[in-house]
Amino acid sequence: MSGSNKQINVLVSGGGTGGHIFPALSIANEVRRRHPEADILFVGAEGRMEMEKVPAAGYRIIGLPVSGFDRKNLLRNVVVVSRLLKSMSKARNILKEFKPDIAIGVGGYASGPMLKAAQKKGIPTLLQEQNSFAGVTNKLLAAKAERICVAYEGMERFFPKDKIVLTGNPVRRNLLECGATPEQARQAMGMDPNKKTILIIGGSLGARTINNAMMAGLKQIGDTYGVQVIWQTGKIYDQQCREALEASGVKNVTQMPFISNMDMAYRAADLVVSRAGASSISELQLLGKAAILVPSPNVAEDHQTKNAMALVNHDAAIMVADADAVSTMVETMLATVIDDEKTASLGRNVLKMALRDAAEHIVDEVEKIIDSNKA
């Protein structure tokens, strides 16, 4: 089937954050590259980020009225159950109209009802699990999935061993194709080309703790000679962080709500400070970037700490606990970025952990499943 123009219908479901959406788009782009005539449909959750990002990338998307369970306020889950039932009904109608050859789930709210409906209809499913600790949705769907593509060794703890394929996580292709030197990238970002550069990213939504740590440490950064910081705050925290930076008078920090040219931002950086979401870690691995990871505590099963520890155990990253970040993050990053030996060692070790061509390997599995189902 590889490279053919045979008409196939591929449904991709999931989202909620960039960590789910960017891998999904990478998979869709690879399907489209091999099969220009393929009909690709995304199914996401109403009101979530995918409803903007997917159409912007040139794909159709339908939203389900689904939302996540509230672990703190159980009464709110009455509404959640109602939305889930409506989503299951809508998912069945989508399958009836679109008639997919395969349904791919990348995690996130929408993938549960959509893939469950596909499995009930006998439509083959492929799961893509980005994290080192499997999500609840993928664990529930695993028994009836044809294939489960993972990014970490040892995932047979969660899934049937014979269904697991180690592929890695797909990342945005443009990140890997940046031809600029670090100096050119810094100039493109409006920075001094010769200064040590730290990139602060809190995931697609921003990270409160990382931003609080930055605001608390602005004077310390301003007093550090030869270092500059690119600070992505997220839209929600933009005004608060911008006002704090202006009030501080610090000149070696450039703050922005969102970075559109992430290829240049990564290339410019000697050190990255980031949450420990699966997509961020895969990007750091493939780019060989020294990093300080501040895992979010607000995620299921504390999976970001487990993601971070997978790197820390190979001397491939430094971890700062969320609870310690305000007091220690800035000091740690300033000490690390001026230590050339340390950043070089972290970069080498994290690069060794990279799994390349993940989207290609996942689409290989998609093609095998479609071929065997049509045989």
Q: Which domains does the chain have, with CATH numbers?
A: 9-169+356-374 (3.40.50.2000), 174-352 (3.40.50.2000)
Q: Cα separation of 62 and 59, whole Å? A: 10
Three-class SS state of 159: coil
Contact by Cβ (8 Å): 317, 308: yes
Tens place of pLDDT per residue across the chain (375 aa)? 655 556 899 999 998 777 789 899 999 999 999 999 999 999 999 998 899 999 999 999 999 998 776 666 666 677 778 888 999 999 999 999 999 999 999 988 889 999 999 999 999 999 999 998 898 899 999 999 999 999 999 999 999 999 999 999 999 888 998 989 999 999 999 999 999 999 999 876 789 999 999 999 999 999 999 999 999 999 999 999 999 999 999 999 999 999 989 999 999 999 999 999 998 999 999 999 999 999 999 887 888 999 999 999 999 999 999 999 999 999 999 999 999 999 999 999 999 999 999 999 999 999 999 999 876
pLDDT in tens, 332-349: 999 999 999 999 999 999
Using H for helix, E for strand and C for coil, what is the string for 187-243?
HHCCCCCCCEEEEEECCCCCCHHHHHHHHHCHHHHHCCCCEEEEEECCCCCHHHHHH
Query: Could you give the angle at the alpha carbon of 178 between the alpha carbons of 177 and 181, nearest 5°?
Result: 145
Distances in Å between the Cα of 54 and the Cα atoms of 178, 234, 298 are 23, 19, 25
Please, which residues have CB within 8 angstroms of residue 60's CB and are 6 or more apart in sequence? 40, 41, 42, 54
* Among candidate residues 284, 265, 264, the one with its CA nearest the CA of residue 274: 284
pTM exceeding the 0.95 threshold for the entire prediction:
no
Alpha-carbon Rg for the chain in angstroms: 21
What pLDDT shows up at residue 70? 62
